[in-house]
Each structure stands twice: as structure tokens, then as C-alpha cells.
């Protein structure tokens, strides 16, 4: 009887933490399907041997083009060269009519942040997996989850509600950028990224 109030209180705290930890993300994020399946591993593996920069390239002025245009896909896939339903859809719905694929962008930066791929990749010699993990060898696209409030991908915050990554490349929060810059003895002022 003496500890009943403490037990009830602690039970309430545990229940509230469980709701916040497990149920809040279900309400905060919605999952949206990508328009097509895509096998990065097939394209970057020994069979095809494409490197990241062959599709995700830089413009002549140094801007990062991001997701490749359908014309880049058409260089190899003017006709279906595989037997998957997604490749058939790629050719029929996007390449033949020259219609861009409406990919959901996992790594769209917040409006208050500026990130230059050219500076990091070309000058800083940072390899793609440092920031993007093993995404380039995945056989399927992971689920695209969007924050219902901000409209940004869950990749900005990271896979768990605490924001603490289980892998060093997860999340795109400022503390990760600052830590990487400190590790490389690169110290910049606020306006380097916030313009």
C-alpha cells in the first residue's frame, strides 16, 4: 500500500513513453509508394557496373542534378532489356512518351539549409556511402515516409523518433554535418549552409 502511488505513477510514465515512442511516429509519418521499383544493386553490381555519378551527375556549372532524367534511363532502356513488370512500365509509361518519373525524394533538404554536392564530392572527396549508406547496393527501394506536418522525408530526422542514428549515415540533421566537419578539420560559419 505504501508504494502504490509510485507504482501507478511509474506505470503511467512507462505507458506514456511507449505511446510516444511507438504510436506517435505512426501518426506523424505516412508511407507513399514510389512510382516504380528500382534495383540499385543490379545496376551498380558486377553485371552492369554503373557508378553513382554515371546517373546522379553534376551539371557543367557544378550543380548536382539529383535524380536522373528519363533520358538518362533511355540510354540503356529504349526497349525493355529485362523481364520485370517495373521495367516494362518504365519503357511504356515513361521512356516512350518521354515523361519524367515522379520519384519521391528521400533527401530533399529543408528550405533553410543549403547543401552543395559538388563541394562535398568533388572538392572534399566524400564518397556517396558516407552520407547515403549502402543505398547504392540495395535490390529494392526502401519505403518513402513523409512527415505529415513538415512535408519532408523521414530521412531528414532519421529512422527512429529519438533522432539517434543506428548507422552513421542516417539522418540529415545539423549536428551530423557539424560532427563530420569537425572530424575533417573543416569549420564554417552559419551562412555557409544557411543562406
105-162: pLDDT as tens digits: 888 888 888 888 888 888 888 888 888 888 888 888 988 999 999 899 988 888 877 7
**Can you tell me the mean pLDDT for 17-24?**
79
pLDDT given at position 35: 95
* Higher pLDDT pick, 156 / 32: 32
Query: Would you say residue 172 has pLDDT above 70?
Result: yes
Give the best-scoring range by mean pLDDT among 19-33, 51-65, 94-108.
Answer: 94-108
Of the pLDDT bands very low, low, confident and very high (cuts 50, 70, 90), residue 73 is very high
**Can you tell me the mean pLDDT for 164-178?**
83
Query: Would you say residue 26 has pLDDT above 70?
Result: yes
How far is residue 127's CA from residue 154's CA, in Å, rounded to a whole number?
22
Residues 6+ apart with CB under 8 A from 37: 84, 86, 140, 141
Q: Does the pTM of the predicted model rise above 0.85?
A: no
| pLDDT mean across residues, the chain | 86
Of the pLDDT bands very low, low, confident and very high (cuts 50, 70, 90), residue 1 is low
Give the best-scoring range by mean pLDDT among 4-18, 22-36, 87-101, 126-140.
Answer: 87-101
Where along the chain do its domains lie?
4-67+103-192
* Count of alpha carbons within 13 angstroms of residue 132, beta-carbon side: 22
Residues 6+ apart with CB under 8 A from 15: none
Cell of 190: 552559419
Amino acid at each position: 500500500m505504501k508504494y502504490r502511488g509510485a507504482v501507478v505513477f511509474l506505470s503511467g510514465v512507462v505507458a506514456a513513453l511507449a505511446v510516444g515512442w511507438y504510436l506517435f511516429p505512426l501518426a506523424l509519418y505516412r508511407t507513399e509508394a514510389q512510382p516504380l521499383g528500382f534495383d540499385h544493386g543490379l545496376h551498380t553490381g558486377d553485371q552492369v557496373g554503373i557508378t553513382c555519378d554515371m546517373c546522379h551527375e553534376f551539371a557543367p556549372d557544378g550543380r548536382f542534378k539529383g535524380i536522373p532524367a528519363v533520358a538518362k534511363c533511355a540510354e540503356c532502356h529504349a526497349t525493355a532489356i529485362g523481364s520485370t513488370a517495373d521495367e516494362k512500365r518504365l519503357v511504356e509509361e515513361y521512356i516512350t512518351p518521354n515523361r519524367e518519373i515522379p520519384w519521391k525524394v528521400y533527401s530533399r533538404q529543408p528550405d533553410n539549409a543549403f547543401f552543395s554536392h559538388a563541394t562535398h564530392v568533388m572538392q572534399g572527396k566524400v564518397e556517396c556511402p558516407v552520407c547515403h549508406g549502402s543505398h547504392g547496393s540495395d535490390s529494392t527501394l526502401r519505403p518513402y515516409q513523409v512527415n505529415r506536418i513538415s512535408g519532408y522525408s523521414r530521412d531528414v530526422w532519421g529512422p527512429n523518433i529519438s533522432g539517434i542514428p543506428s548507422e552513421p549515415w542516417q539522418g540529415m540533421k545539423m549536428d551530423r554535418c557539424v560532427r563530420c566537419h569537425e572530424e575533417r578539420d573543416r569549420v564554417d560559419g552559419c551562412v555557409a549552409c544557411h543562406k
